[in-house]
Amino acid sequence: MSLHTVIPSGLPAFDAASLCADLTRQGWSRQSLIDMPLLTALRDEAAALWQADALSRAGIGRAGDHELVREIRRDKTRWFDGQSPAQRGWLDFAESLRLQLNQRLALGLFAFEAHYAVYEPGGFYRKHLDSFRGARNRILSSVLYLNAGWQTADGGLLRLYDEADDSVIADIVPEFGTFAVFLSEEIPHEVTPALAPRFSIAGWHRCNDLGRAPALQTKVLPLAPI
């Protein structure tokens, strides 16, 4: 049997076996999705929404203090509503991923949510976890990057940290088609300041555990100065 799993019906192909092995071994994985019309359609929709000023400044959990939020993250987001073919395509991809992860790793993933994100020049997101231990709502974080020809000088890296000793375990360049996944409760991460507009789709697979602190989704960690 080929290790390379090709997903039928026009969804991006990825290597599910290596993704699962990475998650088991190290809690994160970086894949390159094969360039499909779907990725271009997602990129076009993100760019059109940005140009139409249809994204909102992102928040953190329940925090209502906008100045505090601005010190922690400066991206703009728009939640998927499943209304466009591109969004439905990505939701189909996420569903296929969900089924494969549940089958291979018994993660008990139940639901998926996603938003477009744009980091304008100067945008960043300080080191954080996407889910509290104990809240256990977000299990798997994923980010699809939509930036063709991203340059090192453009910054905007996704930087993953070792939870135990705080060392950097990976810097992920947000190049078009790169798909990063990591365990939401275990991998502290940040987005380093972007110097060019940076487009992505962040998504979270959740378990079915709505009774326990669903609003506490982001934990901001002690900061190093940027």
Residues of the shown chain interacting with Mn ion in the complex, contacts defined by CB under 5 A: 130
As measured in angstroms, the least distance from the Cβ of 90 to Mn ion is 18
Nearer to Mn ion, 38 or 190 (CB): 190
DSSP string, the chain: --SSBPPSTTPPPB-HHHHHHHHHHHSEEEEE----HHHHHHHHHHHHHHHTT--EE---TT---HHHHHHHB-EEEEE--S-SHHHHHHHHHHHHHHHHHHHHH-----EEEEEEEEE-TT--EEEEESS-TTT--EEEEEEEE-BTT--GGGB--EEEE-TTT--EEEEE--BTTEEEEEETTT--EEEPPBSS-EEEEEEEEE-S-TTS-TT---EEPPPPP-
From the list ligand OGA, Mn ion, none, partner contacted by residue 200 (C-beta under 5 to 8 A by kind) = ligand OGA
As measured in angstroms, the least distance from the Cβ of 130 to ligand OGA is 5
Interface residue with ligand OGA, options 16, 20, 42, 143 (CB under 6 A):
143
Site string for ligand OGA, 199-218 (x = CB under 6 A): -x-x----------------
As measured in angstroms, the least distance from the Cβ of 182 to Mn ion is 9
Interface residue with ligand OGA, options 16, 27, 130, 132 (CB under 6 A):
130
179 binds ligand OGA (CB under 6 A): no
As measured in angstroms, the least distance from the Cβ of 197 to Mn ion is 19
From the list Mn ion, ligand OGA, none, partner contacted by residue 76 (C-beta under 5 to 8 A by kind) = none
* Residues making contact with ligand OGA (CB under 6 A): 117, 125, 130, 143, 158, 189, 191, 200, 202
